Amino acid sequence: MDVTSTLSLGDPLEPARKATADMLRSRDHSFSLPQPFYCDQRLFEIDMQEIFHKEWLIAGMTCEIPAKGNFLTLQIGKNPVLVIRGAEGQVHAFHNVCRHRGSRLCVSEKGKVAKLVCPYHQWNYSLQGDLQGVPFRRGVKQQGQVQGGMPKDFKPEEHGLTKLKVACRGGVVFASFDHAVEPLEDYLGPNILPWFDRVFSGRPLKILGYRRQRIPGNWKLMQENIKDPYHPGLLHTWFVTFGLWRADNKSQLVMDERHRHAAMISRGLCAGTLVAHPSAMPTAPLQSSTGHCAGNTVGSIHSPSNVDTMGTAWSASSAVSAAPGADNRISV
């Protein structure tokens, strides 16, 4: 019997959860969140559990893994994740650790493999994450006796890689550690989904390159900055120069019913200019004003004071087409 199955250590974060709820109820919505939300380690752990371990997150782009065996690796919260194209063309995501001793399976950022092999003890898995081979599973025969090996009741089918739930839409790969998470379309909601689909319309994409930034701050600072409509026309003067975001533009902020996502929409002074900035999750997609380049914030958050972001630059095979006078420029 596994004694850990009945052992309970309680929730050491319970007092912090209650304090968090109290701070959210009493906060002044005209100001930033209270300071502990940005620098308290306990609240950071709650972020990891309640957001990064339960929500849909962007894990990459399908064009990054175009063929069978192509994979990419990333960090979601505190967990290493592997995204791979399977034998039948399906996209899979796993914890990037071997089920034996927890060794990292794929150590490079991307590549192509015929199967997944742990470098430590050579346990190997199919592209679907099923355990296929265990060296010396039945032990080694020495002087007429078998030494070592796995227990007789060892079942490989019970030791496959730990899977994440995966959904793909418009060339974007979403993943969640929580297999009970709501369907992706419900998660985005009817208010945000049209704006997401406008940007990620399913057009063929091509990877142009990557850009990585390390930001010395809590992950929420990045998200708040992305969603702040106050500063773009003041700090980023090119927004004004090209009529993308000005104080006198006709604009609005669209949110889903649960206030988890937002789309910043601005109709510019130039005919047919639209700026749409949908944010689908803590790792939101970013796109340039030309509609041909995007960044995908898929970085790891190791502590409340540091955020890694990795941008993925991609190009659509064809430009956004629109009739004269129609909205023909999108920025995310």
Q: Could you report the per-residue pLDDT of 116-166, keeping only the tens digit for each?
A: 999 998 999 999 999 998 888 878 888 888 888 888 888 989 999 999 999
Q: Return the CATH number at 237.
A: 3.30.530
Domain assignment present for residue 303? The answer is yes
Domain total for the chain?
A: 1
In a domain, 3, yes or no: no
DSSP 195-255: HHHHHS-S--EEEEEEEEEEESS-HHHHHHHHT--SSHHHH-HHHHHTTSS-TTSEEEEEE
Give the pLDDT band of residue 302 (cuts 50, 70, 90).
very low
Among candidate residues 170, 139, 206, the one with its CA nearest the CA of residue 278: 170
| Residue 271: φ, ψ to 5° | -60, 130
Tell me, yes or no, whether 309 lies in a domain.
Answer: yes
Whole domain around residue 269: which residue ranges?
189-316
Q: pLDDT tens for residues 200-244?
A: 998 888 889 888 888 888 999 988 888 887 888 889 888 888 877
Is 234 inside a domain boundary? yes
Let me know if residue 274 belongs to a domain: yes
Specify if 299 maps to a domain. Answer: yes
In this structure, is residue 226 part of a structural domain? yes
pTM, two decimal places:
0.78
Please give the share of the chain, as a percent, with pLDDT higher than 70.
78
Question: What backbone phi and psi angles, to 5 degrees, belong to 10?
Answer: 75, 180
In a domain? residue 275? yes
